Amino acid sequence: MPTLSRRDFAVSAGLAAALGLNARLAVSPAFAQVTPDPAQGFVTYKVGAAEVTALYDGIWEKAHDPAFIANASVEDVKNAMIKAGFTPDFVSIPFTVAVVKTGGKTILCDSGTGAQVQPTAGKMMANMKAAGIDPAKIDTILISHFHPDHIFGLMEKGTNKPVFPQAEIVVSDVEYKFWTDPTVVDRLNEARKGLAKRIQAVFPTWTNIKQVSGEPEVAPGIRFVSAPGHTPGHRAFHLSSGSSQLMISNDTAYVPALVVANPGWHGQYDQDPATAEATRRALLDRVIADKIPICGYHFPFPGAGTISKDGTGYALTPMKA
């Protein structure tokens, strides 16, 4: 049985034009953050013998856009936010990065925004240090996919200097090959061309990136889970320790108020919306059937909870400290 519960939590503690990388980030009043940051930006809990620390990296208060959910109106989106207990004034998209200590290793699950995506994000490193985690002691970084908010924490703005040069970076071979294909730039929309160019300028020059196929064990007790659709090689991570488990879903169900409650909604950032929907339903059905707690990169901080069926959709019950 899963051991993740309220008692386990110890509070010891668009996407910006792909990337005006060399421009200074000026925070205008339009970007003033409404949502308060958590009183403590890290939460630690146990999954069996493994220790998971959720690190708050900030939030994107996304303005409503008719294109954001292709098959739902802005009014539908606002109503879904209200139903989930959020303001209807914008879509709340937090960024939460997980660090897992297991099997004598310290594993970073995705790398955060690196303060290069939204003016209100980029708080992971400060919260990592507050949690007593030394960035230099990260052994392995698992990358779910190559969207900016998941990989820009790997490289410094402007210089592209590696932030974690000593860590092994593990990625899906499908994802790596898609973004490093020289022909992909011409096939992407304008908002993604800059991203692909940056990836192609940086990743092939690094020697600490390991490409893996399928669903292998990529760290002690952690396996990749194929979850395509959001991007071609998107991966979730399945953590197992003794009889306890946790599904680290990443962007499979990125905004629970919208696509968990309405799994048939097709998001703007899903490269293959139909495949993303099928993947989302399969993964949510799996965690229900196997009684596995789940966490997500854009779930309300600290980003963990349980999933249940709710009519034609699903419901997330967040775990709180």
> Per residue in 275-288, pLDDT tens?
999 999 999 999 99
What does the block give as tokens for 33?
């953050």
Domains of the chain: 6-318 (3.60.15.10)
Assign residue 61 a region (left: φ > 0; alpha: ψ between -120 and 50; beta: otherwise): beta
pLDDT of residue 92: 97
For helices 173-180 and 190-202, angle between their N-to-C axes, nearest 10 degrees: 110
- Interior CA angle at 294 toward 195 and 210, to 5°? 45
**Does pLDDT of 132 surpass 60?**
yes
Bigger pLDDT: 319 vs 84: 84
Tell me the pLDDT tens digit for each residue of 30-51.
Answer: 467 999 999 999 999 999 999 9
DSSP state of 269: T
CA dist 69 and 280 (Å) reads 15
pLDDT of residue 319: 83
CA dist 42 and 50 (Å) reads 16
Answer yes or no: are the C-beta atoms of 34 and 61 closer than 8 Å. Answer: yes
**Does pLDDT of 115 surpass 80?**
yes
Lowest mean pLDDT among 28-32, 109-113, 116-120: 28-32
The phi and psi torsions of 106 (rounded to 5 degrees) equal -115, 120
